[in-house]
Structure 1
Amino acid sequence: MSKRIDVNDLNVYYGNFLAVEGVNINIEPRSVTAFIGPSGCGKTTFLRTLNRMHEVTPGASVKGEVLLDGEDLYGAGVDPVTVRTKVGMVFQRPNPFPTMSIRDNVLAGVKLNNKRISKSDASALVEKSLRGANLWNEVKDRLDKPGSGLSGGQQQRLCIARAIAVQPEVILMDEPCSALDPISTLAVEDLINELKSDFTVVIVTHNMQQAARVSEKTAFFNIAGTGKPGKLIEYAETTTIFNNPSVKATEDYVSGRFG
């Protein structure tokens, strides 16, 4: 299922403001790639271009290419909604639908895409998705209870189950552990390591140790100053970024000298 992502000369705009400039990056299938960098450097904005989520902001646009196994996600006639079924998103704060049961939360994306599904197929999909999110054993006896009644860490794994239920090829995660306690964070990190066997995973994180623990490759973004565009400074194997970066700004950031 997982797909390769190739980004060529991507510029991201909000109106006339150039938010992210000149990104070139190749992300391998069935891998975890981490985006790191100081706040405001464009890493989340860039992440959101990978499934056209940034377009929900009025005036947002891009120039350049985002290729999913060679198919341009910004090509003529490409439907953004279809893109988002192929490239799922998990947000910074867990956002289960509060009035929906655990079961209905998992199926929400499937129903949103107007996919007809039998009751037995729906039950099988709910179980498969919750197992994939390492949540089944914790919630199997209360599937009809509200998703909002779960702990923060469980809610985030429920959101991951919701994302994988539509069978995407890529899963994007925008600081998925920033609102979680250490034990819940560990559970999500373990899950990320398992997800890469089926999906291409891209994660934005401010946690250096997390990037080192979960990713094979790391991309460091930076910004020259207020009002300047964010840029991809260095992209390499995670061990290289943390132990032997080729750019001084990368070394300064990962060693804690700034940011």
Structure 2
Amino acid sequence: MRPTPVGSDVMAKRIELKKLSIFYGDFKAVEDVDMMIEPRSVTAFIGPSGCGKSTVLRSLDRMLDVTPGAKVEGEVLLDGVDLYGKHIDPVRVRHQVGMVFQQPNPFPTMTIRGNVLAGLALNKRRLSKSEADEVVETSLRGSNLWEEVKDRLDRPGSSLSGGQQQRLCIARAIAVKPEVLLMDEPCSALDPISTLAIEDLIQQLKEDYTVVIVTHNMQQAARVSERTGFFNIAGTGKPGHLIEYNDTETIFSNPDEAQTEDYITGRFG
């Protein structure tokens, strides 16, 4: 699996989970998740804390590989290719599947420009100055940050506001031209205005990427996603399950499962 070259068109990918179970040592955190995520769409994962939604998200770019004792069973297919196949390089998986975390995490010693190019530098991609300039501008435009920072690219990324830092992290993620973009509660640390800016950006990003977002904000899930998966847990020490996966409008207006209705109406969680 090779990363998409800089400058080429992004080709969003379809994701399919088949009987996905995830373990931390002997503890089964998630059990038997089946799901199809369509390309160029936004899919939201919702559910109470500890139900496994972030764990499933992190399985999609093999982030669990760096967690001691974590083990994945079943299949995670990207356009039919099992990301946990025998000969798959996890580093290349992360070229194709980008991640944006809950807390904005620009590299504090790097400039705004350096942050955008960090992923390419880590992967030893050598660019001419003109190529690097193009990547920086294209990525910052893609994250709706260019006009705000174009005159101060040499200032530290940490000098930006929280919302700007999160958009810088999105620019850093899309600079390597992934095909899937994962977001783990990307607005939980942001103020309402910055949150709306990120939500507007997500709507634009789905034109080029397959976007999967974990959120505790059900109104946000309803606003930004086409499909929603509701995860739940039967009790302490039990594995999380995907209870219902459907069009977002159906999940929030006429869910099939009583558990789903109880959660979205605030009866628990």
User: Do the two structures share a fold, i.e. TM-score over 0.5?
Assistant: yes
- Which secondary structure does the structure 2 equivalent of 1:89 belong to? strand
Aligned AA for 1:202?
V
Runs of 4+ in 1 over 4 A off after TM superposition: none
**Counterpart selection for 2:240 from 205, 219, 230:** 230
Q: Using the TM superposition, name which of 109-118 and 85-94 deviates more.
A: 109-118
- Rounded to whole Å, the distance in 1 between the matches of 2:91 and 2:69 is 18
- Rounded to whole Å, the distance in 2 between the matches of 1:169 and 1:148 is 27
- Cα offset, 1:114, TM superposition: 1.1
**Counterpart selection for 1:152 from 149, 152, 162:** 162
CA distances 1:191-242 after superposition (whole Å, capped 9, x unpaired): 0000000000000000010000000000000000010001100000000000
- Rounded to whole Å, the distance in 2 between the matches of 1:234 and 1:92 is 24
Residue matched to 2:187 = 177
1:11-50 equivalences in 2 (<5 Å):
11-50=21-60
- Rounded to whole Å, the distance in 1 between the matches of 2:193 and 2:153 is 23
Normalising to structure 2: TM-score of the pair?
0.96
Aligned-residue Cα RMSD (Å) equals 0.4
In structure 1, stretches of 5+ residues that fail to align are none
- Which secondary structure does the structure 2 equivalent of 1:142 belong to? coil
- Rounded to whole Å, the distance in 2 between the matches of 1:39 and 1:64 is 23
- Rounded to whole Å, the distance in 1 between the matches of 2:234 and 2:252 is 21
- Rounded to whole Å, the distance in 1 between the matches of 2:126 and 2:73 is 36
- Cα offset, 1:173, TM superposition: 0.1
- Rounded to whole Å, the distance in 2 between the matches of 1:142 and 1:25 is 43
Length, aligned pairs only: 259
Residue matched to 1:198 = 208
- Rounded to whole Å, the distance in 2 between the matches of 1:235 and 1:5 is 14
Among all aligned residue pairs of Structure 1 and Structure 2, give the percentage whose two residues are the same amino acid. 75
Aligned AA for 2:173?
A
- Rounded to whole Å, the distance in 2 between the matches of 1:175 and 1:55 is 21
- Rounded to whole Å, the distance in 2 between the matches of 1:55 and 1:230 is 20
- Which secondary structure does the structure 1 equivalent of 2:151 belong to? coil
- Cα offset, 1:117, TM superposition: 1.0
